[in-house]
Amino acid sequence: MTKILVTGATGSVGRRLVPRLARWAGAEGGSVRVLVRDAAKAQALGLGLDGVETVVGDVCEPADRARALAGADVVLNVAAALRGVPDEQAWAVNRDAAIALGREAAKAGVARFVHTSTNLVYGRGLGRPAVEEDRLAPDPAWGVYAQSKAQAEAGLRELGGELPLVVARLAFVYGEGDPHLAQSLHWAASWPAHQRLAVVHHADVAQALWRAVVTPGIEGRTYNVSDDAPLTAWDLHVLNSRTHPGTSAPEAEFDPWEGQVSTAAARRDLGWRPLFPSAWAAAQAGAL
């Protein structure tokens, strides 16, 4: 019976992922274990489900990681410190804890370590959608989150064949009551109307991560996970029932491919395709 350890279970992605993961794993005779700092919060979020074991601890603490890893067959590292946290915390969670967990998981002999990253690890100026083999060069303007995620990937890859690693690089995640779409206006209000944001719905993140856990023979691979249709700044305002301020085109040359990724590898290797190919489809289905 496969036991899947999930970090970051009470975060934006984790709280929506774990119930699905528990259902899918349970159907195949497996189970889910979550490492959470606050058991009461996990319970309040509905993570106290049949087939979900709770380990209380901090992913940044070695002893807590060891307890969580004991007996786990697969690790799904979803823990992340995003916006609004001190830089030191972002580095500690996104890079240092991720690499330490990977090193310890390798020593524990896990069958697979699935690490969630971000499409922001790619640089600018590719002139096309980013593919998984592209060099990681996050723009400093994108902040510590992108840089720490890129360095985490590099550190995990340095473990080489010791760690059966699979990386999922997620676009901007939205849906199911997640406030991300509303928060996007904090910066999209200053974008020209045609500037685009690559996005992916929580349901599609969950199915991509599940496939990354169970698909055989993909160790060492990386997969971009994104909807078929990015959202323009204009779209973001409409979806938030707001009017775009009519910002003019930027002074610098506009790159229509900035932040966009190819999902061909995920489709080919994982059999993945988005259930919600666009946010408009999610809106029509009442899934925002």
Count of domains forming the chain: 1
Q: What tens digit of pLDDT does each residue of 236-252 get?
A: 999 999 999 876 555 55
Residue 191 lies in a domain: no
Q: In the prediction, which pLDDT does 247 show?
A: 61
Q: What amino acid is encoded at 120 in this protein? A: L
DSSP assignments along 148-189, one per residue = HHHHHHHHHHTTGGGS-EEEEEE-EEE-TT-THHHHTHHHHT
Cα–Cα separations (whole angstroms), residue 76 to 79, 137, 155, 285 = 9, 24, 17, 29
Residue 190 lies in a domain: no
Q: Is 52 helix (H, G, I), strand (E, B) or coil?
A: strand
Residue 126 lies in a domain: yes
Q: In the prediction, which pLDDT does 223 show?
A: 98
Q: What tens digit of pLDDT does each residue of 189-248 get?
A: 888 899 999 999 999 999 999 999 999 999 999 999 999 999 999 999 999 999 998 765
Mean pLDDT of all residues in 85-94? 95
Q: What residues make up the domain containing 162? A: 3-173+201-226+261-275
In which element (H, E) is residue 56 found? strand 52-56
Neighbours of 154 (CB within 10 A): 13
Q: What tens digit of pLDDT does each residue of 12-34 get?
A: 999 999 999 999 999 999 999 99
Q: What is the CATH number of the domain that holds 22?
A: 3.40.50.720
Q: Is 281 helix (H, G, I), strand (E, B) or coil?
A: helix
Residue 231 lies in a domain: no
Residue 237 lies in a domain: no
DSSP assignments along 63-79, one per residue = HHHHHHHTT-SEEEE--
How many angstroms separate the CA atoms of 87 and 81, rounded? 9
Closest CA to 110 of 152, 159, 151: 159
How many angstroms separate the CA atoms of 57 and 19, rounded? 20
Helix axes 98-108, 143-157, angle to 10 degrees: 20
Mean pLDDT of all residues in 35-41? 87
Contact 3, 31 (CB under 8 A): yes
Residue 286 lies in a domain: no
Q: In the prediction, which pLDDT does 254 show?
A: 72
Q: Any bridge partners for residue 168, and if so which?
A: 116, 223
Mean pLDDT of all residues in 274-278? 98
- Say which residue, 185 or 40, is predicted with more confidence: 185
Q: Is 147 helix (H, G, I), strand (E, B) or coil?
A: helix
Q: In the prediction, which pLDDT does 252 show?
A: 54
Q: What tens digit of pLDDT does each residue of 3-17 get?
A: 999 999 999 999 999
Burial of 91 (0-12, 13-18, 19+ CB in 10 A): middle
Q: Any bridge partners for residue 74, and if so which?
A: 4, 112
Residue 27 lies in a domain: yes
Contact 6, 72 (CB under 8 A): no
Helix and strand counts by DSSP (H, E) for the chain: 12, 11
Mean of all residue pLDDT scores within the chain: 94
Contact 121, 153 (CB under 8 A): yes
Residue 240 lies in a domain: no
Q: What tens digit of pLDDT does each residue of 42-83 get?
A: 777 667 767 799 999 999 999 999 999 999 999 999 999 987
